[in-house]
Amino acid sequence: MRMLLIESEPSAGDAVAAGLVDTGHTLVRCHPQGAAAFPCVALQAARVCPLDTGDVDVTVTVRNPGASAVSAGEAGVTCSMRRGVPVVAVGDPHDAFSGLATRAGPGEDVAAVCGRAVAAANDRLTVPVRREVDHMLESAGLAGTESRVEVFREGPVLRLRVLVDPATPAALRNVIAVRAHGVLRRTAVEAAVIDIAVGDR
pLDDT tens sequence across 12-62: 899 999 999 999 999 999 988 878 888 888 888 777 888 887 789 999 999
Q: How much is the pLDDT for 170?
A: 94
Look at residue 104 and tell me whether its pLDDT is greater than 90: yes
**Same domain flag for 101 and 15:** yes
| 93 φ, ψ (degrees, to nearest 5) | -65, -20
**Same domain flag for 41 and 11:** yes
**Same domain flag for 58 and 8:** yes
115 vs 157: CA distance, rounded Å: 18
**Same domain flag for 131 and 49:** no
User: CB count, 10 Å around CB of 104?
Assistant: 23
Cα separation of the two ends of the chain: 28
Asked if residue 116 is part of any domain, the answer here is no
Residue-wise pLDDT for 120-177, tens only, equals: 988 888 899 999 999 999 999 888 888 899 988 776 788 899 999 998 999 999 999 9
Q: How much is the pLDDT for 152?
A: 82
Domain boundary among 75, 108, 141: 108
**Same domain flag for 14 and 102:** yes
Look at residue 189 and tell me whether its pLDDT is greater than 70: no
Asked if residue 115 is part of any domain, the answer here is no
Look at residue 67 and tell me whether its pLDDT is greater than 70: yes
**Same domain flag for 145 and 71:** no
**Same domain flag for 104 and 138:** no
**Same domain flag for 41 and 66:** yes
Asked if residue 173 is part of any domain, the answer here is yes
**Same domain flag for 97 and 135:** no
DSSP letter (8 states) at residue 59? E
**CATH value at residue 195:** 3.30.300
Q: Give the number of domains in the chain.
A: 2
**Same domain flag for 70 and 126:** no
Tell me if 13 sits within 8 A of 7, measured CB to CB: yes
**Same domain flag for 22 and 97:** yes
Provide the pLDDT confidence category of residue 103 given band limits of 50, 70 and 90: very high
Nearest to 4 by CA among 65, 52, 36: 52
92 vs 77: CA distance, rounded Å: 13
Domain of residue 138 covers 121-200
